[in-house]
Chains A and B, each alone.
Chain A
Amino acid sequence: MATLALKQLKKQYPNGYKALHGIDLAFGEGELIVIVGPSGCGKSTLLRTLAGLEDISEGDLEINGKRVNELEPAERDIAMVFQNYALYPHMSVFDNMAYGLKNRRTPKDEIQQRVSEAAELLGLTELLDRRPKQLSGGQRQRVAMGRAIVRKPQVFLFDEPLSNLDAKLRVQMRLEIRRLQKRLKVTSVYVTHDQTEAMTLADRLVVMNGGHVEQFGTPMALYDQPASQFVAGFIGSPAMNFLSATQAQTGLALPCGATIALQGEGLATGAELTLGIRPEHLQVLGAADALPAGAAELEARIELVEPLGADTLAYCRLQGQSEPLVVRLDGEHAVAEEQTLRLAILPARAHLFGADGKRLATREQATAAIE
């Protein structure tokens, strides 16, 4: 178990490309941290600087409070699981797992014992004599994990370890990794571009964008209080809807003509901003229902229906809006294309983002002031 601290960590590649622009993060003992972000945002770079496979250009990396910038990967007491597993093709499963221990001059009987323990844990006992070529994708993945586990390192690093597996296996291995990590209580950093994987695995989540950390927090904190429009759009599936809005005397004016009793704090009247609302937070109103206080009322025509079983997604067209508005309805809702939905955006459910993409503090307009 270990704590991990990154202080103003910067990375510039030899070709001059700046991949990380000053990362400040601190991870606690036994936490499972997931780093998520779109492809090319520097996730792997960050993980590889943690591993010591890439030099740190500026800033400090501390494991258990000790600066490790200059240590070789093997001296940092970390283990890494690679996307393509990187198993030694000419070695048996046993030797693959034992190799790191052999290099550390671990006594033979201890190697034997640790490998069989890990094999037991991962269900590999029957396969110890096989070569990687003779294993399925999921089994190779397990061997790669076993190789990390037997070393009993301070930190596990995972770089998209599940992205070469099929969907079903991915879900299964995801659960297994989570269970294993909780059981071994080893501080882990897990990189993925898949937000579902990130949400389900993480104790805390780092969302990265363009070499910056956008937000760091628990999955639910990021879901409830996204710090930026980028995080809001990245976390949650289907993604949050964004509507352009203008600050008016009476609240926020939406392009379709509706008004919501909300104000972006510190914004002048006439300022442009973005309102975000999650598909699952749009409230469907019956024809006779009264509009909840302060809510904006939208008339949306359904263009496409995606039944998912438990839920149904309706892609709607909204006046004055080019992007379709996605509404998540529960599965029983009978809707058809071309039908018009009456929707409400409740002020408490709306997120506001300024022109710079940062979250705005909101102030609910007293309903009385409208009248």
Chain B
Amino acid sequence: MRYNRPGLDIASHALLIVGCALFFLPVWIAFSASTHEMGDLYSNVAPVWIGEAGLDNYRQLLADPVSSLGADVMTLLFNSMLMALGIAIGKIIISVLAAYAIVFFEFRFRKLCFWLIFITLMLPVEVRILPTFKVVADLNMLDSYAGLILPLIASATATFLLRQFYLTIPAELVEAARIDGAGPWRFLKDILLPLSKTNIAALFVIMFIYGWNQYLWPLLITTDADYLTIVVSLKRMLTTGDGLVPWQDVTATTLLAMGPPVLVILFMQRYFIKGLVDSEK
């Protein structure tokens, strides 16, 4: 909707700018803090402008193990990336197949299957964390990428969203494909996946960020610094015992932790928005 009133335009822009500034301020403070030496941060009031130590800080963080963690930030980023990608891609593969089965195939207990998947929406990791931990421990998957990824990989949300989309596909399209000699796999590959491209892109963004931001689960099952993720490590960097908190490292790591989700959103934005508002059909 557009109203043709210049006053409204100016007012709403002013409001938006103030809002943006408010949200950006903490990021800016974190950034400027990350470019100072530790001494500066403790001897002065919070710095407002960029300091001189920026490059050194970042280079050191990425290359050398951080003393409080036992791993360098590059490793943390790699671990987080692997976990987030694993969770996002795994969730998408599983929910595409689950929704495909539920919508397009006739089998006994189809409804029951759907509802079983659906009620797991009410059981996030945090609720089932002890049994899940036990299972993962019994499977010897503590301190492994599989242990980080697999328990989080099933997604009722994504299954449900894809199911809703698949239900809108006209039955004649399926029948036309059958007559054209497309078996179930071909139909999935040639017709269903291309049609749900934008939906999948949107799901990918959401699921990637969900995976990236996991805190409790990785905290619980990884003790080895080789498997530490960046979100977990942020908290750990703050607990330095008696020493001073290295704020320049914490803020730099925070900014680095924000990077990949922001990049994913920027990169997928086009599909993402399209996936939320319309589809190929």
Binding site for B on A (CB under 8 A): 51, 53, 72-74, 78-80, 82-84, 86-90, 99-100, 103-104, 147
Contacts and interface: CB of A to CB of B under 8 A. Distances in A.
Contacts of A72: 178
A99 B179 contact: no
Contact of B176 (A78, A80, A104): A80
B38 to A, nearest CB: 56
12 contacts: A73-B179, A74-B182, A80-B175, A80-B176, A88-B173, A89-B195, A90-B191, A90-B280, A99-B177, A99-B182, A103-B182, A103-B186
Contact of A74 (B173, B180, B191, B195): B180
A82 B177 CA distance: 12
Nearest to B280: A90
Contacts of A51: 175, 179
Given A90-B194, A90-B195, A90-B280, A82 B182 contact: no
B181 A88 contact: no
Given A86-B170, A89-B281, A100 B179 contact: yes
Contacts of B175: 51, 53, 73, 80, 82, 86
Interface residues of B, number: 18
A154 to B, nearest CB: 13
A73 B194 CA distance: 23
A88 B191 contact: yes
B181 A84 contact: no
Interface in B46-86: none
A78 B178 CA distance: 11
B176 A86 contact: yes
Nearest to B175: A53
Given A51-B175, A86-B173, A89-B281, 11 more contacts: A53-B175, A53-B178, A53-B179, A74-B182, A80-B176, A88-B176, A88-B191, A89-B195, A99-B182, A100-B181, A103-B180
Contacts of B186: 103
Nearest to A100: B180
Contacts of B179: 51, 53, 73-74, 78-80, 100
B275 to A, nearest CB: 14
A235 to B, nearest CB: 29
B172 A82 contact: yes
Interface in B195-251: 195
A103 B186 CA distance: 9
A82 B176 contact: yes
Contact of B280 (A89, A100, A104): A89
B170 A84 contact: yes
B190 interface: yes
A89 to B, nearest CB: 5
Contacts of A84: 170, 172
B111 to A, nearest CB: 15
A346 B176 CA distance: 52
Closest 5 CB pairs of A and B: A100-B180, A86-B172, A74-B181, A103-B181, A86-B176
Nearest to B190: A99
Nearest to B176: A86
B118 to A, nearest CB: 24
Interface in B258-281: 280-281
Contacts of A80: 175-176, 179
Nearest to A48: B175
Contacts of B195: 89-90
Chain B CB within 10 Å — which of A74, A84, A104 has the most?
A74
Contacts of B172: 82-84, 86
A90 B170 CA distance: 14
B183 to A, nearest CB: 8
A96 to B, nearest CB: 9
A84 B280 CA distance: 17
A281 B281 CA distance: 52
A53 B174 CA distance: 10
B281 to A, nearest CB: 5
B170 A99 contact: no
Nearest to A79: B179
Nearest to A76: B179
A217 B22 CA distance: 81
Nearest to A80: B179
